[in-house]
Amino acid sequence: MHLNLTPHVSSPIIISSLAWNAVRDSLEKSGKWELVKYVESVKVTNTRITIKTGKPIVNMELSNHREAIKERIEEGFQTFGIAKMERKIVLI
């Protein structure tokens, strides 16, 4: 049996929350838990995922984990039936 949650997770707020959770999980698994406190927001659009920290040094460190973060976000989206799109991760 396949559980279709798409109607329940189509809200931009829910999608951004899933992405934020995936960022947190990815950093925790990478041993970079201390960076989580600098993430102010995660916003998802059809073309990009914007992670806002406001701190260039933190953005530089996050850029080293960009692929792991992207993979974890895609896993989370797949779990909840959110259509896969090519999204660029932007750090501001």
- 59-92 pLDDT, tens digit each: 999 999 999 999 999 999 988 888 888 999 999 9
pLDDT of residue 11: 83
Query: Residues 14-43: what's their mean pLDDT?
Result: 94
- pTM for the whole structure: 0.86
Query: Residues 14-19: what's their mean pLDDT?
Result: 92
Are 76 and 18 spatial neighbours (Cβ–Cβ below 8 Å)?
yes
Q: Which of 78, 30, 72 is nearest to 89 (CA)?
A: 72
